[in-house]
Each structure stands twice: as C-alpha cells, then as structure tokens.
A and B are shown apart, each in its own frame.
Chain A
Amino acid sequence: NAGVTQTPKFQVLKTGQSMTLQCAQDMNHNSMYWYRQDPGMGLRLIYYSASEGTTDKGEVPNGYNVSRLNKREFSLRLESAAPSQTSVYFCASIETDSYNEQFFGPGTRLTVL
C-alpha cells in the first residue's frame, strides 16, 4: 500500500497563476482533508470531505476550491495564487470520522512569487 500520495512535491507559481494539487489514498478511507502548514502556526484545515460526494469548508478556505473526484482522490485548486498561499500543503485521510488516526501524505511545498 502506498498510503496517501500527493503530487507535485514542489511547485513555484507566479501571482495570479492557477494550479491543482492532487491527493490519492489507497486505504479505502471515507474522509479526506487538506491542511496547510506555516512556520509556527501548526496545521490549519482548508477543506475536508467526510465522504465521497461531500465537501465542507475548514478554518481557512478562502482562495481555494476542492473536488472529491471519487473515494480515492481529493484535489485542491488555487484559482489565482497569491503570495499568502506560500505554504506546505498536506493531504490526510481517515477511515471514518469516528476513528481518529489521520494518515498524512508527504506534502507539497508551494511558493508563490
């Protein structure tokens, strides 16, 4: 099992460009999450999907959109990147909301110039 995979690993964008971060899990988990991690600010939830076909906003959703393509895949889109979106992005999955171990991907390091 690969667990949770994320692509790309690194990305540099110019202000105003768009891109999609991809996430996939092969553990048959129902719930998936997108976080951003900034120095000294821990993990902040951007969006989550409790099950296939549903998505909800987290703590910091502005400037982002998500798609739960199927049970395996959950993508995060930046429509018009801003320097404030420079961060490390982590995708995570969990079997169900009642089971609490989240499995994290390796992260995507995004720089917006």
Chain B
Amino acid sequence: QKEVEQDPGPLSVPEGAIVSLNCTYSNSAFQYFMWYRQYSRKGPELLMYTYSSGNKEDGRFTAQVDKSSKYISLFIRDSQPSDSATYLCASNTNAGKSTFGDGTTLTVKP
C-alpha cells in the first residue's frame, strides 16, 4: 500500500464550480502536508502547506487536514480556467523527504 493515496481523477468542472481534491495517508508520523500545483510540461510548485490538523486558507484555496482520519483535502472556490493543472498532495515527517500522491488532473471549462 502506498503511504499517500490520491483520488485519481481526471476531474472536469465548469468555471465557477467548487472543486474538492482528496488524499489519504497511512503513516501516523506524517506531520506536514503540502499541495503542489503542476502545469502541463512544468515542474511542480508549492500551493499550500499545513502543519498537523486544521484548515488553512489562501484566497480561493483552502487546505484541510484531519489527522484522526488521515485525510487531506484541497478546496478551490470559484474555480477558473487558469486553475487547470495537476494537483499533487504530499506529506512528510519532521525529517524531510516528502511522499507524493499520484496527482489529480483538473480541467476547468469556461
């Protein structure tokens, strides 16, 4: 079993929709939870970063971590065509070396 499992997608939504991207993890030692965004033919870039459980909001993006259920979510409000990308969740312990999910490809249609 992979340590980080991500809903595979692909996901296609109309512009303005609320998007929910989800991952689960199995390693109880994970404390840091990240979401990376990767545009086509580019390297991933960090979008959101959360330590332990709770919510973090940044504009239209909200990252949510529930350590009791080992569940990681990213919500995108008022989705835009420019949000079309692959989203990768990642987790790690205090000792570095992130473990990545396989990614979910999102398309937002105008």
Contacts and interface: CB of A to CB of B under 8 A. Distances in A.
A42 B95 contact: no
Interface in B23-51: 32, 34, 41-46, 49
B80 interface: no
A107 B42 contact: yes
Contacts of A94: 96
Contacts of B100: 42-43
Interface of B is mostly: strand
B62 interface: no
Contact of B43 (A42, A48, A90): A90
A43 B34 contact: no
Q: Range of interface residues on chain B?
A: 20 to 34
Contacts of B88: 42-43
Nearest to B34: A100
A31 B44 contact: no
A100 B32 contact: yes
- 3 cross-chain pairs, A with B, having the tightest CB-CB distances, nearest first: A97-B96, A104-B43, A42-B102
Interface of B: 6, 8, 32, 34, 41-46, 49, 88, 92, 94-98, 100-103
Interface of A: 4, 31, 33, 40-43, 45, 48, 50, 58, 90, 92, 94, 96-98, 100-107
27 contacts: A31-B96, A33-B97, A42-B88, A42-B101, A42-B102, A42-B103, A43-B44, A45-B97, A48-B97, A90-B44, A97-B95, A97-B97, A98-B94, A98-B95, A100-B34, A100-B49, A100-B92, A100-B96, A100-B98, A101-B46, A104-B44, A105-B43, A106-B42, A106-B43, A107-B41, A107-B42, A107-B43
